[in-house]
Amino acid sequence: MSEKKISSAVIKRLPRYFRYLRDLLDQGVERISSEELSRMMHATASQVRQDLNSFGGFGQQGYGYNVEHLKDEIAKILGLDTPHNMIMIGAGNLGRAIAGYDKFDNRSFHIKGIFDNNPDLVGDVVRGITIMPMSELKRFIDENDISIAGLTVPKDQAKDIAEELYGYGIRAFWNFAHVDLRLPDDAYVENVHLSDSLMQLSYRLQNNL
Amino acid sequence: MSEKKISSAVIKRLPRYFRYLRDLLDQGVERISSEELSRMMHATASQVRQDLNSFGGFGQQGYGYNVEHLKDEIAKILGLDTPHNMIMIGAGNLGRAIAGYDKFDNRSFHIKGIFDNNPDLVGDVVRGITIMPMSELKRFIDENDISIAGLTVPKDQAKDIAEELYGYGIRAFWNFAHVDLRLPDDAYVENVHLSDSLMQLSYRLQNNL
C-alpha cells in the first residue's frame, strides 16, 4: 500500500474524504463524480483525482467513484479495517469526556480502559469502563492487545507516563498534554493541543487572516 | 504587525514558541540563545532566527533573546495581550470538560457562558458558570463582548448553530463537531476533529510513518 511516498498533505485530507464518503453512504448515495466530491472537499476536481490516484485510483472514466468501495479503500489505507484497542491515561474531565464518547467505536477505535492514580477516581465507571489505578497498566496492556494510548494528564507527568507506556510496548500516542513528547523514532505521537488551536484562532482574528 | 505575509508554517509554530518561553520563564530562565531555543523546538538555529525575524527579530547578536520580552512579543502577535471572551455551545461531556478546564484563562481565553437546549442540563453549573438555554444566546453575546464560540454539538446541528452565531456577530469558531463549517470569508474556523487525529495516528501506525 505504501510503495509510493504519499505526501503528508494528502494524508491529512484522507480522514475528511472518509467522513464525506461515510456521510454520502448514510444518505444513500451510491456513486459520485470527482467534480461533486471536489465541491464537497473545497478542492479542484484534478486535485481530488490526483489525491486518490496516489493510492492507485479507484475511479472509472465516465462513472466516477463508487462511494462504498472508495470509502472502504480509504478505510483500509487509514488502517480502519482492523480494530484498535485503546486506553486513556488520566480520568479528569477531559479524559472521561473522551472515554465517554461512543462515536470512536464506529471508526474501530475501542477505548478498553481508563487509568488514573487519584484514589477518588479509581473505581468510578465511565461508559461501562471502570477507572483503574496505574499499577494495573502493564497487565492490562498485555492482556488486552492495546495499541494506542490517549494522554489526558498534566503536562509535568506526561513525559514519564509516555516513557512508561513505551516500555510496555505502546507505540501510538494521542497526546492532549501541553507538552511535546520526545520518544524513540518508532513511536507515533499525534498531538491535540487545545490551547495551541485557540491561539491560532486568536492570531487569525487579530490579523484578519 | 502583519505588514509582511507570514507563512502559515511559522504561525503554526508560534504557540509552541510561546509555550516553551513561558515554561522557561517559570523556571527562572532570563535569556536564551537561538541555539538553545532551536534545540527545544527541534529545529535548526537558523530556522528559529528566520521565524523570529519574520516578526521583526527580537534577538541581539551575542546576547540571544530575553525570554520575557520574546514571550510578550509573541503573545502580542498571537493576540494574547487582550482578553478573549468565549462561549461554549453544547454542554455534553466534552463541552463541560472544556468549560471546566481552568488553564485557558492563563492564556487570556475566558469562557463566560455555556449553552445547551437540553432542559436536563440547563441550570447545571460548571466551574461557576450556569448552563443557559439557547434562547439566551443573543442577549448574552451582546452583553458580554463575546468574540469566540466553541462548538461541542452534534454534527447535524453545528452548521445551523454556527450560522446563528455568525448572525449575532461571532467571527471566530472553535469547532469540535465532525463537520466542516461553511461560513462567509470573514469568519475564522479552527477545527479540532478528534476522530481525524485518531485516523492519522492509525495511518502512521499501519504504515510505519
ipTM of predicted assembly, 2 dp: 0.89
Instruction: Work out whether the CA dihedral B167, B171, B176, B179 comes out positive or negative.
Output: positive
CA-CA distance, A169 to B39, in Å (whole number)? Answer: 27
- 3-class DSSP string for B46-101: HHHHHHHHCCCCCCECCCEEEHHHHHHHHHHHCCCCCCEEEEEECCCHHHHHHHCC
Domain membership flag for residue B3: no
Whether B27 and B101 share a structural domain: no
Structural contact between residues B25 and B19, judged by C-beta atoms closer than 8 angstroms:
no
Structural domain for A57, as ranges = 8-77
Whether B33 and B88 share a structural domain: no
Query: Which chain B residue lies closest to A182 (C-alpha atoms)?
Result: B42
The answer to whether the Cβ–Cβ distance between B94 and A101 falls below 8 Å is yes
Whether B59 and B93 share a structural domain: no
Domain membership flag for residue A66: yes
Give residue A11's pLDDT: 83
Identify the residue among A27, A198, A204, A205 best suited for mutation to test binding to B, counting B beta carbons within 10 A and taking the highest.
Answer: A198
Contacts of A148 in chain B (CB under 8 A): 198, 201-202, 205
Which residues of chain A form beta strands (DSSP E)? Answer: 31-32, 65-66, 84-89, 109-115, 125-126, 129-132, 146-151, 172-175, 188-191
The answer to whether the Cβ–Cβ distance between A198 and B100 falls below 8 Å is no
Whether B102 and B180 share a structural domain: yes
Domain membership flag for residue A208: no
Query: Which chain A residue lies closest to B93 (C-alpha atoms)?
Result: A97
A3 has a pLDDT exceeding 50: no
Domain membership flag for residue A148: yes
Whether B103 and B185 share a structural domain: yes
Give residue B3's pLDDT: 47
The answer to whether the Cβ–Cβ distance between A148 and B97 falls below 8 Å is no
Choosing from B35, B57, B77, the residue where a domain stops is: B77
Name the average pLDDT for chain B.
90
B173 has a pLDDT exceeding 70: yes
pTM score, two decimals?
0.88
pLDDT tier at A207, thresholds 50, 70, 90: confident
Instruction: Work out whether the CA dihedral B102, B86, B188, B95 comes out positive or negative.
Output: positive
CATH code of residue B107 = 3.40.50.720
Domain membership flag for residue B2: no
Whether A39 and A88 share a structural domain: no
Whether A178 and A157 share a structural domain: yes
Pull the grid cell for residue B172.
471566530
Rounded to an integer, the average pLDDT of A8-24 is 88
Rounded to an integer, the average pLDDT of A160-173 is 97
Rounded to an integer, the average pLDDT of A104-126 is 92
Whether B190 and B95 share a structural domain: yes
Q: Which of A98, A104, A202 sits opposite B80 (nearest CB)?
A: A202
Whether A20 and A57 share a structural domain: yes
Choosing from B77, B96, B116, the residue where a domain stops is: B77
The answer to whether the Cβ–Cβ distance between A93 and B109 falls below 8 Å is no
For chain B, what is the domain count?
Answer: 2
Whether A90 and A187 share a structural domain: yes
Domain membership flag for residue A206: no
Q: Which of B94, B171, B197 sits opposite A190 (nearest CB)?
A: B197
Q: pLDDT digit string (tens) for B61-100?
A: 778 889 999 999 999 989 999 899 999 999 999 999 999 8
Query: Which chain B residue lies closest to A95 (C-alpha atoms)?
Result: B97
Give residue A2's pLDDT: 42
Domain membership flag for residue A2: no
B49 vs chain A: nearest CA distance in angstroms?
20
Whether B91 and B144 share a structural domain: yes
CA-CA distance, B166 to A164, in Å (whole number)? Answer: 46
Q: pLDDT digit string (tens) for B92-140?
A: 999 999 998 878 877 789 999 999 999 999 999 999 999 999 999 999 9
Domain membership flag for residue A127: yes
Rounded to an integer, the average pLDDT of A159-179 is 96
Q: Which of B2, B107, B198 sits opposite A174 (nearest CB)?
A: B198
CATH code of residue B42 = 1.10.10.10
The answer to whether the Cβ–Cβ distance between A1 and B207 falls below 8 Å is yes
Identify the residue among A80, A202, A207, A209 best suited for mutation to test binding to B, counting B beta carbons within 10 A and taking the highest.
Answer: A202
Give residue B2's pLDDT: 42
Q: pLDDT digit string (tens) for A177-202?
A: 988 898 999 999 999 999 999 999 99
Whether B33 and B92 share a structural domain: no
Choosing from A50, A77, A104, the residue where a domain stops is: A77
Structural contact between residues B127 and B100, judged by C-beta atoms closer than 8 angstroms:
yes
